[in-house]
């Protein structure tokens, strides 16, 4: 299975307010192993970056002045992710921004036309209801080293998310049973009650199997003088 872990950095929080994508970072994973293939691009958003966003990622307007426009990287990005499953933390944010970039190019296609999407934030909320599930919180929970993450960066965050995703889907660190408040426990109980489990298949022994079983019990009884099965 081919999966692409993707992250973006932007000029602000809302594409509806005219904010744009300025960095796209992806790492490729095939059959749950990082392949070493990466995609990284910075792009000129044709507008200024908000101060709040600058504090998060540290990417300046000056740095982006000579970078390509989204129209120059769109096809390359879509070719890289094509046919894969995208692994994104808080997917509506990144997908919303990238879909907006495609719409600004007067294109009819959207990200979901090229790849499936798995939201690790939703996955984390299912595994750890009522707990903090930011990327930093998940790194701490799953013992993933994020000490180099003083500022957000799309490629760095994608690499960290790949480790977190593998840890989350390879086994649960606490089985979702450690809660931060009584309310969280109630949420977890409600979640467990709604798990759809298939009915157990019971296969009855036929007459020949029952006869063989009885013969084996008699043999044990005769040899040892006692068979625990008869005490049941």
- Domain ranges across the chain: 2-170, 198-232
pLDDT of residue 64: 96
pLDDT of residue 174: 40
Below-50 pLDDT ranges, the chain: 171-195, 197
Element (H, E) at 7: strand 2-10
Global pTM exceeds 0.75 = no
Residue 82: what are its φ and ψ, rounded to 5°?
-55, 125
What dihedral angle (degrees, nearest 10) is formed by the CA atoms of 14, 17, 18, 23? -20
| CATH fold label, 2-170 | Nucleotidyltransferase; domain 5 (3.30.420)
pLDDT of residue 230: 59
pLDDT of residue 153: 87
How far, in Å, CA of 5 to CA of 139, rounded? Answer: 16
How far, in Å, CA of 157 to CA of 57, rounded? Answer: 11
How far, in Å, CA of 214 to CA of 206, rounded? Answer: 12
Residues belonging to the active site: 152
How far, in Å, CA of 4 to CA of 114, rounded? Answer: 12
Placement of tokens 């109980």 in the chain = 189
């Amino acid at each position: 299975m081919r999966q692409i872990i993707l992250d973006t950095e932007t000029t602000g929080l809302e594409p509806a307010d005219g904010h744009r994508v300025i960095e796209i970072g992806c790492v490729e994973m095939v059959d749950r192993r990082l392949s070493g293939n990466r995609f990284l691009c910075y792009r000129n958003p044709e507008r200024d970056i908000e101060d709040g966003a600058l504090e998060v990622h540290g990417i300046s307007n000056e740095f982006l002045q000579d970078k390509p426009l989204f129209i120059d990287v769109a096809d390359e990005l879509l070719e890289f992710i094509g046919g894969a499953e995208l692994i994104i933390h808080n997917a509506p944010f990144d997908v919303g921004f990238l879909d907006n970039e495609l719409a600004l190019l007067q294109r009819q296609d959207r990200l979901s036309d090229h790849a499936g999407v798995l939201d690790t934030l939703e996955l984390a909320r299912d595994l750890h209801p009522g707990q903090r599930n930011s990327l930093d919180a998940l790194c701490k929970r799953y013992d993933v080293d994020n000490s180099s993450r003083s500022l957000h960066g799309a490629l760095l965050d994608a690499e960290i998310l790949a480790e977190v995703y593998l840890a989350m889907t390879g086994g649960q660190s606490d089985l979702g049973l450690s809660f931060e408040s009584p309310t969280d426990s109630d949420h977890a109980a409600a979640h467990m009650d709604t798990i759809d489990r298939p009915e157990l298949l019971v296969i009855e022994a036929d007459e020949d199997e029952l006869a063989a079983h009885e013969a084996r019990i008699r043999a044990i009884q005769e040899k040892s003088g006692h068979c625990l099965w008869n005490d049941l």
